[in-house]
Structure 1
């Protein structure tokens, strides 16, 4: 078996991304986010609140990832889009992934509802502003469309292993967001919908690659470090068939650099094994939290007079 394995070239050692400087990257992205927003919104006070709410949301994801021992953690703020936390593990868990996803929007909704519903002696405009923004931003994230938290939660719980279903889900999400943008004449939502649409091409390519891998008896639920030289060579061949430009890249790059490019492509089509540990009871519990967050948000917003909200944002 060892001699047979030696017939294949040694797979490259994948250079992993360094995450030690994630704090500086996060701060820099926050500055760029604020500067970009200031070009269209001449309200630094509101921008500061928005940044704080986004940071609070992403910290929920980040802390749960730390708790569940995710590696290569990074937090990034993206102008006009929001923010995201990325990380990876050797093996995922439905339970851990679900809790990590819901940990973003749920704390913000609870805090926002508290600020709006608590019987303050002298309710301030700041409490109303914070409460409204906390709830609106987080409840929007519970909408079950890809790649929002609600969409991620549904994918994890119900069709994590159904590649084609995920492709259709992304397409529907893109059309839904763009359609809402057209209806409300919101160019920002239209652009967001179109950007989601761009993911369809990549997801379709990934679906086709993994389909070919299955036909070749290659298991894509694996880690790069765990695959054999033979498996690496077979995946590399399939990827090049779907990405002919890699042949051109090879001509203009040094061998080591080219090998890293291909290795990252191979790593990109692999997905660490996911432990199917979510029982029906747990899935129902997560759906309860998801629906509860939406219901609580609706109640908290409607419990406040609309004029009070308008006055809170106008009179500071």
Structure 2
């Protein structure tokens, strides 16, 4: 970050004549929107790593490509829904052995949008799996790309139904947390902790085959909760000074930026070596400080789902989750793969 602001191109540690007079300089310019090429390259790189490690595990290109196709189909549902709701910096990123996720940003998010986005991943896969299952009942010898249609249908339903389990951070858990809980409440935090405990139990004790890779989820969840609790403490200190955090970074006054900055560097251990202001000078950690301040600014979650809407969403979730039993599908072979 060479020039932290085009209007005030100070380098880290440099003090201008204006700052010597304690005139408040402009806040650093927010990061430009991420390059689409950069996002695409990251997506391709993560996919390549996903395929390499996946082949090492499965030793079968057919199975690997089938699972990858199902994961991509699932994530494209999220991607298209987020695109429709005008999320920015969208990208699909793959996590070896765990799956993939769609990344994007938006300041104002409604519960309705969240429900649609979260269900747009698993529902199409479950519906397609059900269609394939009914199709293969009429012609049990049919196959696609050398794989029996029955196996494709079962795997489509199995992988997507797993995502509907009401455990955070799966789609079902996020749906429960976003639509039915208040994310700022202790109930929500307790739900995340219980989800982490459940994942630890599944990884270590639920089956004969130890699923140690699942421990990454609770580790990341607990680290995020710890980071969020630290930010919440800083947020309370900032709000106690009368600064309005219910704004975007672009609308944040320069004076408020520098006031918040002083609180952040005083409270956050990563910035203990950053001197407070005045005098006003940019630090080589300014980009990280700016990112932390951006994280303190409130994201709007619009509570726009009524009780009737929540019941409707629950019915959709329950129907999708119960679809194998409604269709009398035998999922036992896939459960046995995990030792259940």
Per the shorter chain, which TM-score range? Answer: 0.7 to 0.9
Do the aligned residues in 2 keep the contact of 1:144 with 1:154 (CA within 8 Å)? yes
Structure 1, unmatched stretches of 5+, are: 1-5, 311-316
Q: Residue 10 of structure 1 corresponds to which residue in structure 2?
A: 26
The Cα of 1:163 is off from its aligned counterpart by 4.7
The Cα of 1:244 is off from its aligned counterpart by 2.2
Q: Residue 5 of structure 2 corresponds to which residue in structure 1?
A: none
Do the aligned residues in 1 keep the contact of 2:203 with 2:213 (CA within 8 Å)? yes
**Residues 18-54 of structure 1: CA distance to partner in whole angstroms, max 9, x if unpaired?**
1412333322221110001122221111110111001
> What is the CA–CA distance in structure 1 between the aligned matches of 2:234 and 2:331, rounded to whole Å?
53
Do the aligned residues in 1 keep the contact of 2:111 with 2:301 (CA within 8 Å)? yes
1:143-182 correspondence runs (5 A): 143-182=165-204
Q: Residue 297 of structure 2 corresponds to which residue in structure 1?
A: 270
The Cα of 1:293 is off from its aligned counterpart by 1.1
> What is the CA–CA distance in structure 2 between the aligned matches of 1:19 and 1:285, rounded to whole Å?
39
The Cα of 1:138 is off from its aligned counterpart by 1.1
> What is the CA–CA distance in structure 1 between the aligned matches of 2:181 and 2:82, rounded to whole Å?
22
Q: Residue 3 of structure 1 corresponds to which residue in structure 2?
A: none
CA distance 1:135–1:279, change in 2 (3 Å): same
Q: How high is the TM-score relative to the length of structure 1?
A: 0.84
Question: How many residues matched?
Answer: 301
Supply the RMSD in Å over aligned alpha carbons. 2.7
Identify the structure with the greater helix proportion: 1
> What is the CA–CA distance in structure 2 between the aligned matches of 1:25 and 1:120, rounded to whole Å?
43
Do the aligned residues in 2 keep the contact of 1:117 with 1:303 (CA within 8 Å)? no
Query: Which 10-residue stretch deviates more, 209-218 or 10-19?
Result: 209-218
**SS at structure 1 position matched to 2:104:** strand
Q: Is residue 117 of structure 1 aligned with residue 134 of structure 2?
A: yes
CA distance 1:299–1:215, change in 2 (3 Å): farther
Structure showing greater radius of gyration is 2
Do the aligned residues in 2 keep the contact of 1:19 with 1:74 (CA within 8 Å)? no
Structure 2, unmatched stretches of 5+, are: 1-21, 276-280, 336-340
Q: How high is the TM-score relative to the length of structure 2?
A: 0.79
Return the match for 2:217 from 189, 192, 199.
192
